[in-house]
A = this chain, B = another copy of it.
Amino acid sequence: MKKLIVTTVLIGSICTGVFSQKSDSSIARTIYDEALIKGESYEMLEYLCLSIGHRLSGSPQAAAAVEWARQKMVEYEFDKVELQEVMVPHWVRGDLEYGKIVNSAAIGTKEVPICALGGSIATGSNGVTARVIEVTNFDQLEELGRKGIEGKLVFYNRPMDARYIHTGSAYGRAVDQRHLGAAMATKYGAVGVLVRSMTLAIDDVPHTGSMKYDSVGIKIPGVAISTKGANLLSGLLKNDPNLMFHMELNCKTLPDVLSYNVIGEMEGTEYPDEIILVGGHLDAWDKGHGAHDDGAGCVQSIEALRILKALGIKPKRTIRAVMFMNEENGLRGAKKYAAVAKEKGENHIAAIESDAGGFTPRGFGIYGEPEALKKIQSFSRVFDRYGIIDLKKGWGGADINQLKDQGVTLIGYRPDSQRYFDLHHTSEDTFDKINKRELELGAASMAVLVYLLSEYGL
């Protein structure tokens, strides 16, 4: 057996191509072993979720998360650790979110699970009570016109389409209702919007998320309604088109707050000016723990660097872990990061974002030049055995997308997508929904990609 090993090593030494591949494969193996046997991502996430909790931009928890991330990077002895200042919006949910179907012929008055959409204005202390007009798209608003909409609550009820295998595709095709619904409805005199929660699950959990107002136009309150609530309301409206809905919110927007992106790096030994970014966003909606969205992406990014350090790997190119602030309701951190990078003339060759949950890895979505795509696809020789199969053209991530103009290859970590939107932006996105091995496999996959990019560039 010993003899065989010696022979293999010799063959490796003679044929450099083979050696390199062999060596990459064995380094990948040690990376996965480190993640699975001595990994620290799970304990990191446990702290972030259970000791800090959710951490919307501007909140005390967001500040705690910034300091926690900084300390972690210092503790792991990253070469540089830096806080990058950024002013972030400060929206607070308040302590009142209440919705009910009023005096229905069929079921009387009934409370329905709702929650404020992020950025919404409050309803005033009397709440808003109005007739409901159900639509599934913006064209219908135009057809109904001001006459059909004025003074009413617009109820957007186009479900995510379950036929998409990747749930993100279904989300992408439904989320316009949440994001733009209020701004569109206000043009026709609506007094508020109810948006079907962005999920494929049929349950009682409302899903928050960002909404946007036009700079002109009147602001109206916007809420998410649980899918069961939406189905109930829609069913009742069929026989009772004059049905009223009542909602109360006391959320508000406070002045902007100083916050930070947290940045830590390992300097490259040969090409320190070529930067490979790996990151997630530190802020999370003010429900649950932000465990999958995006605590997972943060700890996986820190863990990727920790693993390389623990294994004594000296990357040829600079590797930078970035915890972006304010992805959820403004992208201010990502915009600031990109602006500073541009100003400094930094050369990011690739940016990887993990913001799709801490589930079993399936691959990476790649946005970049054909040669970059091809090079990353060639890494399948290393990745195949770990189930990293999807190395396709695809979406990178909301934060790293701000670097697009700078010609950076954008890479989105792609875990299994089936459970993500059951939890996304809800009280259910809690630490107990994290599977330790799935999280660790993701961290290892990211570490391997970072390693290969640092070895071979793009």
Contact = CB atoms under 8 A, between A and B. Distances in A.
9 contacts: A165-B386, A165-B387, A360-B416, A360-B418, A387-B390, A418-B435, A418-B438, A418-B441, A419-B438
Nearest to A38: B162
Contact of A165 (B32, B37, B422): B32
Contacts of A418: 360, 435, 437-438, 441
* 7 nearest A-B pairs in the assembled complex, by CB-CB distance: A36-B162, A389-B389, A418-B437, A418-B438, A360-B416, A360-B418, A33-B163
A335 interface: no
A422 B432 CA distance: 13
A436 interface: yes
Contacts of A37: 162-163
Interface string A189-229: 00000000000110000000000000000000000000000
Interface in A409-449: 416, 418-419, 422, 435-438, 441
A360 B385 CA distance: 18
A362 interface: yes
A164 to B, nearest CB: 9
A167 B441 CA distance: 12
A437 B36 CA distance: 27
Contact of A422 (B32, B360, B362, B435): B435
Residue from A201, A390, A437, A438 with most neighbouring chain B CB atoms (10 Å) = A437
A362 B162 CA distance: 19
Contacts of A362: 387
Contacts of A441: 165, 418
A165 B416 contact: no
Contacts of A390: 387
Nearest to A202: B436
Contacts of A385: 165
Contact of A436 (B165, B201, B437): B201
Given A32-B165, A36-B162, A418-B438, 14 more contacts: A32-B163, A36-B163, A37-B162, A37-B163, A162-B437, A165-B386, A165-B387, A167-B437, A360-B416, A389-B389, A416-B416, A418-B435, A418-B437, A418-B441
A36 B387 CA distance: 24
A435 B202 CA distance: 12
A418 B437 CA distance: 7
A144 to B, nearest CB: 27
A200 B438 CA distance: 12
A422 B434 CA distance: 12
Interface in A13-70: 32-33, 36-37
A160 B362 CA distance: 23
Interface string A146-185: 0000000000000000110101000000000000000000
Nearest to A444: B165
A171 to B, nearest CB: 13
Contact of A200 (B165, B387, B389, B437): B437
A32 B32 CA distance: 34
A379 to B, nearest CB: 16
Contact of A435 (B163, B419, B436): B419
Interface string A352-392: 00000000101000000000000000000000011101100
A200 B163 CA distance: 34
A416 B359 CA distance: 10
A435 B437 CA distance: 18
A33 B164 CA distance: 9
Contacts of A163: 32-33, 36-37
